[in-house]
Amino acid sequence: MSRFIPNRNAMDMEVSQYILSKENVEPQTGDLAESIFGDAKQGKVLAFKSKAPAPREGSQSSHRVLYSSNSKTETAVKPTRFISQTPLRVLDAPGVTDDYYTNPIDWGCNNSVAIALGSTVYLWNASTASTVEFNTFNQLITSVHWHQDAQYLGIGLSDGTVQMWDAERQKALRCLKGHNSRVGVMSSFGHMLSTGSKDTMINTHDVRIQSSLISQLNGHSEEVCGLKWNADGTQLASGGNDNTVNIWNAGASTPKFTFTDHTAGVKALSWAPFQKDLLATGGGATDRSIKFWNTTTGALLNTIDTNSQVSSLIWSKDPSCKEIVSSHGISQNEINVWKYPTLVKTAELRGHRSRILSMAQSPDGSSIASISGDESVRFWKVFDVPNKSVSKKVDAPLNSTVRHIR
């Protein structure tokens, strides 16, 4: 490899050293060399025996040759993905219950977003931007969840019941009982629907059979506020207001692991799509951390302090992306995008004026919907589409246009 050697005979070293040692030289306007050396332009800092070779034909910069003139091949640099700070859409959501322990939004694979506002459920179609008032109940709705490829909509209520509805026909199918307090979180795998309640219990129903309640898990001392099945249905993760995370093997009656490293309630749970035993968990206002666990070994892999209450976590659906989105409440009220495993923050999305209660992901994986106590739902383009054939994308941005849910 060739290198350039300075020609010291062409330098005035004494003048150069004197000028560079002065700490308070006033910058001068005009010629750059004159502003540094005064009249001693002949005192060059660096001089080469011969000029650097001319840049290659087609080079973007005349300086590029300094790095590539002796290179046989050029490495292509992957362009940085742009994440817009402006939401795709903003929907007014008057009457949303500003309760950290509720989950009032879910986005089905039918591209329909279920949104609970008080005691009424609305469905917003992301393909047509149309809204329908689905149904009004005689009590507060504490969670919504699309089940079995969005054929059914589960609606958790403050009295501890879960109503299952045929969304297309807007017809009530059955009422699932077993809790005696609000159902704030639901998760499903196949025909199994698991529900978490303020009564500290986790109930699992097989919705195909008449006597649907097939298991009850008692592993938390306070409200179950986080619940998530992994991709192949072999493990269920639960988070409680008792600051613990339990990992349950399918069919087991006791936890395989109980993680006690969080110092606040754990509502946010998300399994990585590229590694079935990698779980991310997020803690509440006095914890503020995101932790990453190996649920095969029980090892804590990594942790990061987000400086804000974590309300939900969502991984990119693209296994090659390895990024995770977190939403926050007290005190930042923002959405962050993190690269895994470096945990470098790649984006901050701001706009909500109150804590973000929950998030939901579009069927194609590209967009995130966030609902906040400020009575708005915001849609953000966060990821690239891993597979364009999965589903339709969210409609083109509407800039600052606001569409009302009601």
pLDDT in tens, 138-195: 999 999 999 988 889 999 999 999 999 999 999 999 999 999 999 999 999 999 999 9
- Answer whether residue 306 is part of any domain: yes
Number of domains in the chain: 2
Mean pLDDT of 311-321: 95
Residue 223: the pLDDT is 98
Mean pLDDT of 216-228: 98
The total of other beta-carbon atoms located within 10 Å of residue 137's CB is 17
Q: How far is CA 29 from the centre of its chain?
A: 49
Specify if 3 maps to a domain: no
Residues 63 and 97 in one domain: no
Overall average pLDDT of the 213-226 stretch? 98
**Is residue 357 domain-resident?**
yes
Question: Residue 227: is its pLDDT beyond 60?
Answer: yes
Count Cβ atoms below 10 Å from residue 203 Cβ, excluding itself: 25
d(CA 204, CA 362): 26
80: pLDDT strictly greater than 50: yes
Which residues constitute the domain of residue 46? 8-68
Residue 196: closest CA among 220, 174, 227: 227
CB atoms < 10 A from the CB of 147, how many? 23
Within 13 Å of residue 232, how many CA atoms lie on the same side as its CB? 7
The reported pLDDT for the residue numbered 49 is 44
Distance CA 378, CA 91 (A): 6
Note whether 375 and 94 are within 8 A (CB): yes
| Domain co-membership, 223 together with 311 | yes
Predicted local distance difference test score (pLDDT) of residue 103: 98
217 and 357 housed in the same domain: yes
Task: Mark whether 144 and 51 lie in a shared domain.
Answer: no
Tell whether 318 and 396 lie within a shared domain: yes
Tell me if 154 is assigned to some domain.
yes
Residues 251 and 393 in one domain: yes
CA distances from 402 to 90, 93, 173, 356, 406 (A): 5, 11, 34, 18, 12
83 domain-assigned: no
Mean pLDDT across the chain, nearest whole number? 84
Instruction: Determine how many CB atoms are found less than 10 A away from the CB of residue 250.
Output: 15
- Whole-number percent of the chain with pLDDT over 70: 75
390 and 259 in a common domain: yes
Domain boundary among the residues 38, 68, 98 is at 68
- State the sign of the Cα–Cα–Cα–Cα dihedral 35, 37, 41, 45: negative
Residues 139 and 263 occupy one common structural domain? yes
Global pTM value: 0.77
Beta bridge partners of 164: 154, 174
Residue 367 within a domain: yes
Kindly report the CATH number assigned to the domain that includes residue 227. 2.130.10.10
Is 63 within the bounds of a domain? yes
Q: 175 and 310 in one domain?
A: yes
Please report, to the nearest 10 degrees, the dihedral formed by the alpha carbons of residues 127, 378, 223, 258 taken in order: 90
- The tokens for 116 are 């609970």
Q: Could you say which DSSP state residue 180 is in?
A: S
pLDDT score recorded for residue 116: 98
Using alpha carbons, select from 279, 285, 319 the residue that is nearest to residue 302: 279
User: Across the chain, which distance is largest between two alpha carbons, in Å?
Assistant: 96
- 38 and 179 both lie in a single domain: no
Same structural domain, 44 and 158: no
Over residues 290-316, mean pLDDT: 98
State the pLDDT confidence band at 101, using cuts at 50, 70 and 90.
very high
Q: Note whether 282 and 371 are same-domain residues.
A: yes
pLDDT given at position 310: 98
- 1 falls within a domain: no
